[in-house]
Protein backbone atom coordinates (compact mmCIF):
# COMPACT_ATOMS: atom_id res chain seq x y z
CA UNK A 1 0.00 0.00 0.00
CA UNK A 2 1.16 3.53 -0.70
CA UNK A 3 1.47 6.10 2.07
CA UNK A 4 0.35 9.71 2.02
CA UNK A 5 2.14 11.62 4.78
CA UNK A 6 0.81 14.99 5.91
CA UNK A 7 2.86 17.66 7.74
CA UNK A 8 6.10 15.73 7.24
CA UNK A 9 9.35 16.93 8.76
CA UNK A 10 12.89 16.08 7.72
CA UNK A 11 15.12 15.80 10.77
CA UNK A 12 18.84 16.32 10.23
CA UNK A 13 21.29 15.16 12.91
CA UNK A 14 24.83 16.53 13.14
CA UNK A 15 26.77 15.61 16.25
CA UNK A 16 24.65 16.47 19.30
CA UNK A 17 22.45 18.91 17.36
CA UNK A 18 19.40 18.45 15.19
CA UNK A 19 17.10 20.57 13.10
CA UNK A 20 13.64 19.95 11.66
CA UNK A 21 12.80 21.10 8.15
CA UNK A 22 9.08 21.13 7.31
CA UNK A 23 8.46 19.30 4.01
CA UNK A 24 4.65 19.16 3.71
CA UNK A 25 2.85 16.31 1.95
CA UNK A 26 4.74 13.24 0.75
CA UNK A 27 3.50 10.25 -1.22
CA UNK A 28 5.62 7.15 -0.66
CA UNK A 29 5.28 4.10 -2.89
CA UNK A 30 4.53 1.00 -0.87
CA UNK A 31 7.50 -0.89 -2.32
CA UNK A 32 9.81 1.69 -0.71
CA UNK A 33 8.37 1.30 2.80
CA UNK A 34 10.50 -0.79 5.11
CA UNK A 35 9.33 0.33 8.53
CA UNK A 36 6.59 2.55 9.86
CA UNK A 37 6.17 3.60 13.47
CA UNK A 38 4.74 6.21 15.76
CA UNK A 39 6.86 8.70 17.68
CA UNK A 40 6.43 8.79 21.45
CA UNK A 41 6.44 12.55 22.09
CA UNK A 42 7.23 12.07 25.80
CA UNK A 43 10.41 10.14 25.03
CA UNK A 44 11.36 12.57 22.29
CA UNK A 45 11.49 15.44 24.79
CA UNK A 46 13.99 13.47 26.92
CA UNK A 47 16.62 13.40 24.19
CA UNK A 48 20.07 14.83 25.00
CA UNK A 49 20.21 16.44 21.55
CA UNK A 50 19.99 20.20 21.16
CA UNK A 51 17.47 21.59 18.67
CA UNK A 52 18.83 24.38 16.47
CA UNK A 53 17.47 26.50 13.63
CA UNK A 54 17.21 25.24 10.08
CA UNK A 55 19.98 27.56 8.90
CA UNK A 56 22.33 26.44 11.66
CA UNK A 57 21.80 22.70 11.11
CA UNK A 58 22.22 23.07 7.34
CA UNK A 59 25.49 24.95 7.91
CA UNK A 60 26.66 22.26 10.37
CA UNK A 61 25.75 19.57 7.81
CA UNK A 62 27.64 21.41 5.06
CA UNK A 63 30.73 21.72 7.27
CA UNK A 64 30.57 18.03 8.20
CA UNK A 65 30.28 16.99 4.55
CA UNK A 66 33.13 19.30 3.61
CA UNK A 67 35.33 17.78 6.34
CA UNK A 68 34.50 14.25 5.11
CA UNK A 69 35.33 15.26 1.55
CA UNK A 70 38.69 16.74 2.60
CA UNK A 71 39.48 13.61 4.63
CA UNK A 72 38.68 11.42 1.63
CA UNK A 73 40.93 13.54 -0.61
CA UNK A 74 43.81 13.16 1.87
CA UNK A 75 43.25 9.40 2.02
CA UNK A 76 43.28 9.06 -1.77
CA UNK A 77 46.41 11.23 -1.99
CA UNK A 78 48.19 9.07 0.61
CA UNK A 79 47.27 5.91 -1.29
CA UNK A 80 48.48 7.41 -4.58
CA UNK A 81 51.81 8.29 -2.98
CA UNK A 82 52.17 4.62 -2.02
CA UNK A 83 51.37 3.49 -5.56
CA UNK A 84 47.85 2.29 -4.85
CA UNK A 85 44.82 3.28 -6.87
CA UNK A 86 41.35 3.73 -5.46
CA UNK A 87 38.43 3.51 -7.91
CA UNK A 88 36.21 6.57 -7.91
CA UNK A 89 32.66 6.04 -6.70
CA UNK A 90 31.16 7.25 -10.01
CA UNK A 91 33.03 4.57 -12.00
CA UNK A 92 31.90 1.63 -9.86
CA UNK A 93 28.52 1.46 -11.62
CA UNK A 94 30.22 0.53 -14.88
CA UNK A 95 31.18 -2.97 -13.66
- pLDDT 10s digits, 58-95: 999 999 999 999 999 998 888 888 888 776 666 555 55
> What is d(CA 21, CA 12) in angstroms, rounded to the nearest whole number?
8
| Residue 76: Cβ-neighbour burial (10 angstroms; 0-12, 13-18, 19+) | middle
pTM as predicted: 0.64
- Which domains does the chain possess? 3-82 (2.30.30.100)
Amino acid sequence: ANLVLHQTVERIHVGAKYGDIPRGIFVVRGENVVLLGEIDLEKESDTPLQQVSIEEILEEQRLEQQAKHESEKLKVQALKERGLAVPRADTLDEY
